[in-house]
Structure 1
């Protein structure tokens, strides 16, 4: 019984101090679209709970209509959100606020971190996943690419007959 009391106490303390984990809502979806999503959930529950095929077909038709409506609304919301961000980026660029421009660009690009776990192909076509072997393969690759033989024939490029008038500005 002591372990149950301990678990209960730890659970209560965790709820007080940490609270529940809050899911981050997608910021570009409007409240109207969220309401439509909430309206769709009971229809899905009815589909799953119903045994009758006729009722199931009717609920599936309702669900399909609601789903199409939600997808249209979400696409419209996303377009509006991107337009607003683009306008903000343009205004920031006009003001010379590059920090905001880069932040907005990063937000538009999405949070796609660099994946270091991408396998490297060996010369025979197999994938290499071991880090040490990957580095060895990269070394082989660049040695092959960068250490080429001198070409036997050189390109014959004639000199320009007249110079180009290019204004370079004041070079200091």
Structure 2
């Protein structure tokens, strides 16, 4: 409150007046305790007049009857603290215990009634298709929620504070998880009776460029948990929001995709998706490198601001083109693409 210049000035004037009145007293029998009491009263009175007392804000669901009981409990607490004899203290303690239980039960009833009221309003809003009122009530019921961030720790259990150390630890972790030694006794897996999607791509049902494109897009989307709209376009390509060549960075053990916007990015500052290498045929890093190599051989000039995934005509990969080709694969292997 004293950060407010007006309040600060009022407090200084009031305190100065109090001390002036205190110094004008000419009593010679004033003790040190009396001096301290006068100083304490001067500060207390000046604060109450200039700043005011702190107003306690009660929960909106607490009823006036419960507040009266809270005040009664407070008075009983003061009586208990000021009791001098053992019998008086025991009697005050029993009364305070009873009042405390009464307050707790009353608060529980108030909160239960408040929650029941909100749930009834939420159900009514849902039936009336009033989405705003529904979510407002849900927010009141759930309260504020903050997702805790779990720290990244080293193998020794020490917390890693810098981003570089955390990324190195993740690389080390996925190296151990994804690059396991092959088993000594390999399990016998009989060949599939029906063709798989990978087999169809390798058999060449599409052109070599489209095969590489669809394979890379599917693998990147799978390992990056990407929705179709993140790597395809509906109509026109926009470098400010769609994936470009410059949005991918290769490292020794991973490739990083930079999404300019995401559902989990409310401030539109961008999200980095890490695709780690693995020793399988479905390695996202290898598939991206292979696709980009085929693309460079097909299109001589590739700009950093051009789309990451393009069709045979050089235009950005559209949602319709991608979905139609995936549906074709599913139909050939006997799956219903509409499911």
The two structures share one fold, judged by TM-score above 0.5: yes
| Alignment map for 1:1-40 (pairs within 5 Å) | 7-8=12-13, 15=50, 21-40=54-73
Q: CA deviation at 1:41?
A: 0.8
Of the candidates 124, 131, 142, which is equivalent to residue 156 of structure 2? 124
Q: CA deviation at 1:65?
A: 0.5
Q: CA deviation at 1:49?
A: 1.0
Of the candidates 83, 93, 101, which is equivalent to residue 126 of structure 2? 93
Distance 1:97 1:146, change over 3 A: farther
| Whole-angstrom CA distance in 1 between matches of 2:103 and 2:155 | 49
Bigger fraction of residues in helix: 1
Q: CA deviation at 1:23?
A: 2.9
Q: CA RMSD in A?
A: 3.8
Unaligned runs of 5+ in 1: none
Larger radius of gyration between Structure 1 and Structure 2:
2
Unaligned runs of 5+ in 2: 1-8, 16-45, 195-333
Map Cα deviations across residues 102-126 of structure 1 (whole Å, 9 max, x no partner): 222222122244456x654332123
| Whole-angstrom CA distance in 2 between matches of 1:111 and 1:29 | 19
Q: Scaled by the length of structure 2, what TM-score is found?
A: 0.38
State the aligned residue count: 155
Q: In the alignment, which residue of structure 2 is the partner of 1:149?
A: 179
Q: Scaled by the length of structure 1, what TM-score is found?
A: 0.68
Q: In the alignment, which residue of structure 2 is the partner of 1:70?
A: 103
Q: Secondary structure at the match of 1:66?
A: helix
| Whole-angstrom CA distance in 2 between matches of 1:50 and 1:94 | 58
